[in-house]
Every structure is written in structure tokens, then in C-alpha cells.
Amino acid sequence: MKQTIHKVYNKVGIKSDRTKKITRHVLLSFIYKGGSMVSSFLIVPLTINYLDPENYGIWLTLSSFIAWFSFFDIGLGNGLRNKFTVAKAKGDLTLAKAYVSSAYYTIGSICLLLTLVFFGLNFFIDWTRVFNANPAAQKELGILMPIVFAFFCLQLVVKLITTIYTADQHHSMQGKINFFTSVGSLLVIWLMTHTGESSLLVFGTIFSAFPVLLLLGLNVFAFSKTYKQYKPSLSLWKKKYLKDIFGLGFLFFIVQISGIVLYSTDNMIISNLFSPAEVVPFNISYKYFSIATMLFNIIANPYWSSITEAYIKNDFEWIRKSMKNFNRMAFAFIFCVLIMMFLSNIFYHFWIGSKVYVTKSLTILMGIFIMSSIFVTPYTFFINGIGKVKIQALQSVFCSLINIPLSIYFASNLKMGAAGVIFATIICFIPSMILAPMQYYKVINNTAKGIWNK
């Protein structure tokens, strides 16, 4: 089998060990992502039938709201990803373990404190007003919110193991976890539709707990076998190691929190301007086009850590060749999104029938947004990989500040509806489409100075 794979590599001109590793994990990820994608699409109509469109809209909005709190990892996940790769590339395994320990214990402490605070505040919040939901749902939401939030915080900690796998260039592990999560969730929702009455509380609890249990199992396995030498140790938690991660992680934190504001507020804006039910067609169109982004990200994800390693070893020839291929693949996927725009109505009808109506304007604008995202991905992954993210952080803050008022203006004042929200996001995305390619060419040609090299 290995000989066959090597023959294929030779025929297509793949010689670099780094590229071979990327290719192997991309192929594995396609298998896992394919199963995940099919499962996630099958979940949507089952969930709509189980919860009804309004409660499904509440769940989507609730999930987006909880996702805002992902910034409480303060960028340590991405900081760990780069620093772990650098430490391993230099052969300093003790330093790599120190980074892992510092990240785990810091995020764990933050999440424990955050959960306790949230549980206390929960008694004073009317969630039906937050989500513009039926007042009768307050009791159920009052119980569900702290449960979902607690599992979300726990997930912030246990998902660090996938960061370690990715930093070690085992890029398909995240896809494997997503596959088992999606297939397991599909089985659970199918059983729920056949054995129980509709309950947002039961649905939310199960779907929040399931991925945490899978990741917890992976942590136990990894730190007892594959990554036993990196098992977190409280004695290795040091301020200097945390500072190393956080120094880079803080800029990732700025980018991350800005991204949350830019992308995760959409559901909340639509829910409050219109109704939770209006969130559903918005997410249907996003989920449809996310086929392209999910497939493209399978190819893209391995490049981040591989670029980090290549940059540390001054292998600029590999970076240039890889970025050319990366960009070619990006344009191929952009063309695929154009085709998806023309086929959207056929797909919607096959997928969800007449249960939800998605406007043509929403479909077109969502497609443009996805194409913009794909175009800029190779450049942002290069920038993230080398850790020079200051420009990205500044432009992300600017975009996040103008996104909400622009969304409200287009959606409500200009009466564009949900399509206005994604139109605002497209406008906010324009600076990164200009600045990211400029920074790449400056860095790769060794002409980056000042802020371009930070």
C-alpha cells in the first residue's frame, strides 16, 4: 500500500515530505468531512421537524450567542498552535510540554470562573427578551442556558487536544472528531424524533454534551499514549511560558473576538429585527454554501502549521510553490461557488422542500461572501502561520465596529431583510481582501517593513 502511495506521489510530482504529509491528511480529511457534511445536512430537516422552525431559530440564535464567549480562550489556542510547532521543530520537547500545560491550566481556570459568574447572572436575565422569543419559553431557556454554557466552556478546554494534533501536522484529527460528532448527532436526533416529544431543553442538553464527551475521550487517549510526554503538568505552568503564548495569542485574540462580532452577531441581529424564524433561511443559505468552505478548509487547514515549520527553517522555496498551488485551488472553489449559486433553488427544494423559503438576493449575497472568504484564505493562513498578524488584528477591529450598525442599516432602514445583514458583512470583508495579499507579497519578497512585518 505504501509503495502504491509513493508511486502516486512521484507521478504527480510530490517530493517534499511536508507536502506528502499534507496530501495524506487532506485525503483522510475528505473522507471524514464527506461523512460529516452528509450528516449535518440530514440533521437540518430532522431538527426542523423535531423542534419546529421557531424553536430551531431560537437554537441557532442561542448557539451563536454562546459562541461569542469563545474569545475567553484569549487567543491561547492559536498561540499554542504556533508555539508548539516551533518548539517541536527545534526539538525542545520540555518547552512544548510547558506550552501545553500553561494553555490547559490557564483556559481551564478562566472557564471555571466564567461558568460560576454565568450561573449567578442567569437568575436575573430574561432570555426570551434577548432572543425575541415567546415569553412562555423563559423557564425552559432559564434551565437550558447555563447547561449549554457550562458544556461550551468545558469544550474550550478539551478541544485544545485537536490544536496539539494540528500543530504536530496530524491535520485530519479535527475532521475525524467532527465526523463522529456529526454522525452521532444525526443518530441521536433520529432517535429523538421517534421516541420522545419535542423539547428544546432535551435537544440542547444532548447536543451540547455530545462533542464534549468525544473530546474528553480523545484527551484521555492522547495523553496516555500518543502525547504522553506532553501531558499537562501544573508544575510546568509558568508566567514566562504563558507570556510566550499570550504575546502572539493576544493578537490572535483580537482577530478572534473581532471575527465573533463580525460573523456570530448575524443571527442575533436577524432575530431581534425580525423574528427567530427568519434566522432559519439565513442559516439554510449559509449551510448550503458552507459545502464549498468546508471542502476548501480540508485543503487549507494543513497549510497553517506547515507554513510555520517551513518559515522557521527558512524554506521559502516550498512556501512560494505551496502558495501558488493554494491560490489555484482557491480559484477553483470560487468557480464551484458560482455554479452552486445557479443550482441553489434545486438544492433547497431537494433538501428542505417547501418548509423554508430562501430569497434569491440572500442566496446571491451569501455566495459572494463565501467567494470572498475563499479568496483571502491562502493569504490569512500564511500570515497566521508566520505570526505577523498585527495588520489583520487592526483591520478586524475596524470591521467589527462597523458591522452591526451597517447590518441594521441595510436590513432595516433599506428594508433588505436578512440579505442586508450578509451584505454588510461583505463590505466589512473588503479590507482583508486588499491588505492580506499585499502583506504576503511584501513578506515573501523580503520588503516588509514596520507594521507589515509585525
Domain around 176 = 17-453
Cα angle 248, 254, 255 (rounded to 5 degrees) comes to 95
The tens digit of pLDDT for each residue in 156-177 reads: 888 888 888 877 767 667 777 7
Sequence-ordered list of residues with C-beta below 8 angstroms from that of 256, at least 6 positions apart, any chain = 70, 71, 73, 75, 78
Residue 113 has a CB neighbour count (10 Å cut-off) of 12
**Range from 104-118, 226-240, 361-375 that averages highest in pLDDT:** 361-375
Per-residue pLDDT of 191-229, as tens digits, reads: 888 776 777 888 888 888 888 898 899 899 988 888 888
Percentages (nearest 5) of helix, strand, coil residues in the chain: 85, 0, 15
Does any domain span residue 145?
yes
User: pLDDT at residue 345 above 60?
Assistant: yes
The pLDDT assigned to 341 comes to: 93
Residue 11 neighbours by CB distance under 10 Å: 8
Backbone conformation region of residue 387, classed left if phi is above 0, alpha if psi is from -120 to 50, else beta:
left
Contacts of 446 (CB under 8 A, 6+ apart): none
Q: Is residue 5 part of a domain?
A: no
Q: Is the pLDDT of residue 71 over 70?
A: no
The C-alpha cell at 67 is: 459562541
Distance separating alpha carbons of residues 422 and 282, to the nearest angstrom? 9
pLDDT digits (tens, 9 = 90+) for 415-440: 888 889 999 989 988 988 999 999 99
pLDDT of the residue at 87: 81
| 400: its cell numbers | 467589527
pLDDT of 12 > 50? The answer is no
* 156 found inside a domain: yes
Write down the mean pLDDT value for the chain.
80
| 168 or 328, greater pLDDT | 328
pLDDT at 11 over 50: no
Residue 6 forms part of a structural domain: no
Reported confidence tier of residue 23, pLDDT bands at 50, 70, 90: low
In tens, the pLDDT along 275-314 reads 777 888 888 898 899 889 888 887 787 777 778 778 877 8
Q: What is the pLDDT of residues 370-409, one digit of tens each?
A: 999 999 999 988 888 887 888 888 888 888 888 889 999 9
Q: Per the domain annotation, does 310 fall within a domain?
A: yes
Please name which of 422, 420, 379, 197 lies closest in space to residue 288, comparing C-alpha atoms.
422
Q: Which of 172, 159, 305 is nearest to 218 (CA)?
A: 159
In total, how many domains does the chain have?
1
Report phi then psi at 416, rounded to 5. -85, -10
pLDDT for 7 equals: 46
In a domain, 8, yes or no: no
CA atoms within 13 A on the CB side of 188: 17
> First CA to last CA across the chain, in angstroms?
45
- Is position 12 within any domain? no
8: confidence class by pLDDT, cuts 50, 70, 90: very low
- Residue 71: partners with Cβ closer than 8 Å, 6 or more residues away: 253, 256, 257, 260
Task: Report if residue 140 sits inside a domain.
Answer: yes
pTM tops 0.75: no
Confidence class of residue 6 from pLDDT cuts 50, 70 and 90? very low
Residues 267, 270, 275: CA angle, nearest 5 degrees: 110
Picking from 39-48, 91-100, 133-142, which range would have the lowest pLDDT averaged per residue?
39-48
